[in-house]
Amino acid sequence: MHIRRLGQSMQVSAIGLGCMGMSQGYGPNPGSREDMVDVIRSAVDVGVTFLDTAEVYYGPYVNEELVGEAIGPIRDQVQLATKFGWDIQDGKSVGLNSRPEHIKKVADACLQRLGVETIDLFYQHRVDPKVPIEDVAGTIGELVQAGKVKHFGLSEVGADTLRKAHATYPVTAVQSEYSLWTRDPEPEILPTCAELGIGFVPFSPLGRGFLTGALDSSASFSQGDMRATIPRFQAENLSANQSLVNHVRDLADGKGATPAQVALAWLLAQAPWIAPIPGTRKLSRLQENAGATEIGLSADERADLDALAARVGVAGDRYSEAHMKLVGH
């Protein structure tokens, strides 16, 4: 597995592992908790050592506890990212909260659930408009000084806020949705990251499963599957978007690869400071995703994929209207 650098000093595997789906988001898990522990531990065997979770993921807190159990015997082999920023009361998220005292409280709770002494990368999950980003960045600086956090990250942030945060305390990585059919970071965020020397971590790099080629307009989503509420996954939009994934599949077939591997290889080719974190609940998919680092794309193939979304169009928003209001601040 290739190694990439985020920010000035954080070294991570080129392909990471988003752990959220092991606990929530995509309907009932076909595997047991023990199976998920095995998948996380097996990730290290294929070189996937960059793990991503968050306090709010299912329950909340359940996903962090799962990851904490899994990494017990492999802590020194992984880089661990988690997130703060939600106001969680009586087991439910009731809004945003990035007040400094709350961030410190969450950091201590995350350390306990994960069973670690230090969080490698601590993201603000969503920007809290009620708290100046300079206060957030300063608080992370204090946590770094205390040895509880190593690196500062921001998720779904806007370019102006990113600049303000970075001027207060260095931002190591920005995490946002980015894939062949979600190109939102390209106009402002990616150029800002390049200018400031900040890494970029795409979540949902396989379009929540669409870019694997496993979904079509007949797909149905069970209760608890977040895709049932996302406009892009409505039947008419899945049908309209099919030509995009068909194009990726044709390219993959010519390379003896899978559509998922081509989609990830395209992301890796965008910049050496990009490290996508596809999620999976299956060891076979984990191995498939790791293999993307061996897929080469020619300049012509890259240019073709760069223009694909604009050429064929993408139908449907990536989030509900309410959720979209939380991004890009």
Residue 283 has pLDDT above 90, yes or no: yes
The predicted structure's pLDDT at residue 66: 97
Which amino acid does the sequence have at 202? P
In the block, which residue shows the tokens 């199976």?
Answer: 35
Inter-residue contact 268 to 293 (CB < 8 Å): yes
Could you tell me which of 267, 295, 287 has the C-alpha nearest to residue 203?
Answer: 267
Q: Which residues are catalytic?
A: 57
Inter-residue contact 171 to 197 (CB < 8 Å): no
Residue 25: band (very low, low, confident or very high) from pLDDT cuts 50, 70, 90: confident
How far apart are alpha carbons 26 and 41 in whole angstroms? 21
The predicted structure's pLDDT at residue 116: 98
Q: Is 5 helix (H, G, I), strand (E, B) or coil?
A: strand
How far apart are alpha carbons 117 and 119 in whole angstroms? 7
**Fold exhibited by the domain 3-209+270-295:** TIM Barrel (3.20.20)
pTM of the predicted model as reported, rounded to 2 decimal places: 0.96
Which residues, in sequence order, are bridge partners of residue 177?
203
**CA angle 167-163-148, nearest 5°?**
60
The average confidence (pLDDT) of the chain is 95
The predicted structure's pLDDT at residue 14: 98
User: What does the pLDDT look like over 179-229, one tens digit per residue?
Assistant: 999 999 999 999 999 999 999 999 999 999 999 999 888 888 988 889 999
Residue 178: band (very low, low, confident or very high) from pLDDT cuts 50, 70, 90: very high
Average pLDDT over residues 121-128: 98
Residue 303 has pLDDT above 90, yes or no: yes
Residue 323: band (very low, low, confident or very high) from pLDDT cuts 50, 70, 90: confident
Inter-residue contact 40 to 71 (CB < 8 Å): yes
Q: Sort 76 into a burial class: Cβ within 10 Å, 0-12 / 13-18 / 19+.
A: exposed
Residue 103 has a CB neighbour count (10 Å cut-off) of 23
The predicted structure's pLDDT at residue 20: 95
> Which of 127-131, 226-230, 288-292 shows the lowest mean pLDDT across its residues?
226-230
Average pLDDT over residues 280-296: 96
Higher pLDDT, 273 or 26: 273
Average pLDDT over residues 129-150: 98
The predicted structure's pLDDT at residue 30: 80
Q: HSE (CB half, 13 Å, CA atoms) of 290? A: 20
How far apart are alpha carbons 215 and 208 in whole angstroms? 10
Q: What percent of the chain has pLDDT over 90?
A: 89
Inter-residue contact 51 to 13 (CB < 8 Å): no
Residue 119 has a CB neighbour count (10 Å cut-off) of 22
> Which of 21-35, 85-99, 162-176, 261-275 shows the lowest mean pLDDT across its residues?
21-35
User: What does the pLDDT look like over 96-116, one tens digit per residue?
Assistant: 999 999 999 999 999 999 999
Strand locations in the chain, DSSP E?
A: 3-6, 10-13, 17-18, 50-52, 79-84, 86-89, 92-96, 119-124, 149-155, 171-177, 199-203
